[in-house]
Amino acid sequence: MKKNWSMLKKIFILFLFIHHIALGQSKTDNPSFRPLESFEQIFAKAVKEKKPVFFEAYLPTCSHCLAYDKTLRDPKIKSYLSTNFLAYQLDLSKRENGLFLRKNKVFVPSTPSFIVFSPEGKVINVEPVGDETNSIDGIQLILNKAKDMNKNMVASLKKFDAGDQDFENMLSVALFARYTMDTVKNMEVVNKLANSIKPDQYFDKMSFLLMQRVMLDTDNKLFQFFIQNLPTYKQKFDSLDVKQTAENILMSSLYCSRARKYSTGKIDQIKSGLRLLGVPENQIATRCIVLEVLIDLGQQNIQGATGKIKTYYQGKPIPEKEMDFWCTQLKRNQKAEMPCPLTP
């Protein structure tokens, strides 16, 4: 038995070694991409060579990324990328790459995603990619459109700002606004998209996809209809997808930058939506308490903020780290020597 166990250990270690080598070869040594250097150097070269910069954002554990990697190794792709782009891979498991995207206000909804910058460092296209485009022709089609300043997402945005109300163009703009974290523009476009949909089309697949992929806010008639008719949507679509879509929209609305200006009624509306999804009351309170306190503090209502915190803990002792956080917030406009309002 001891001998068998020893052999099993050796086989397991060998498996891990081979698996590690396979992963290393699959995503860190792709000859179609240049070795990643500092982002300052990358964009300095882009300006000099007058080429857009293409990043394939991936995760080492993503099966779709590994499948794409095989296609991206093809000599035709290597030649295409070398001619048209400065091409690099971004491993999103590395903190510095995530910070780069956050600094440039790029949200990656799934991996792999194709992100294209102008030589000057402006985001011009973001495209999450799936199995249906995992081919030489499919990849070239996506990237040809991405670098074309008359057809990419920035072009769609310019058309929209110039008055183009075409549904497909607005959908592209709404997606781009989501991927570039422009909630205000996203809301503007999504409201127009929602208004263009007739009530008898609310249960259509396109309407659901609009909410699932694009919508970030609850303030439109399509979402209000959706949240009040969840049982019917669950009959037509996957029930978990319906629940996740509704929760994502409610939470993105709750955590967006304009939430500090919400009325009590607006927050109650979000809470009501979460209840319809079956979220427990204690979880709803936890999701909302920070925003509610910050709204009170923004209105110089320290007494109201303090009362909400005490109500949240229901007379129980506040943990030390949480007490430090709340006291810092409550005292941020007071003199340092003033006692924390939560102190007995």
Tokens of 12: 């397991």
Judged against a pLDDT cut of 50, whether residue 77 lies above it is answered with: yes
Q: Residue 337's pLDDT is what? A: 77
Alpha helices in the chain (DSSP H): 2-28, 39-49, 63-72, 75-84, 95-103, 136-147, 153-161, 167-179, 183-196, 205-213, 221-228, 230-236, 239-255, 264-276, 281-298, 302-313, 320-330
Flag whether pLDDT at 1 surpasses 60.
no
Domains, the chain, in order of start with CATH, read 25-147 (3.40.30.10)
Q: Determine contact, residues 292/260, Cβ cutoff 8 Å.
A: no
- The tokens describing 163, both together, are 């008055």
- Candidates 182, 208, 180, 179; CA nearest to 193 is 208
- Nearest C-alpha neighbor of 176 from the set 146, 200, 203, 201: 146
The whole-model pTM stands at 0.78
Cβ proximity of 78 and 37 under 8 Å: no
Has residue 4 got a pLDDT over 70? no
Give tens-digit pLDDT for 54-75.
Answer: 999 999 999 999 999 999 999 9
CA 296, 302, 303: angle at the middle one, nearest 5?
Answer: 105
Cα distances (angstroms) measured from residue 277 to each of 216, 229, 271, 281: 17, 11, 10, 11
Label residues 91-118 b or e (16+ Cβ within 10 Å = b).
bbeeeebbeebeeeebebeebbbbbbbb
Percent of the chain's residues with pLDDT above 70: 92
Q: What's the CA gap between 90 and 83, in Å, rounded?
A: 20
**Per-residue pLDDT tens digits for 239-279:** 999 999 999 999 999 988 889 999 999 999 999 999 999 99
Residues 287 and 254: beta-carbon distance below 8 Å: yes
Lowest mean pLDDT among 121-135, 181-195, 288-302, 324-338: 324-338
Amino acid (one-letter) located at 115: I
What's the average model confidence in pLDDT over 314-343? 89
Mean pLDDT of the chain: 90
52, 125 Cβ separation under 8 angstroms: no
Q: What is the pLDDT of residues 194-215, one digit of tens each?
A: 999 999 999 999 999 999 999 9
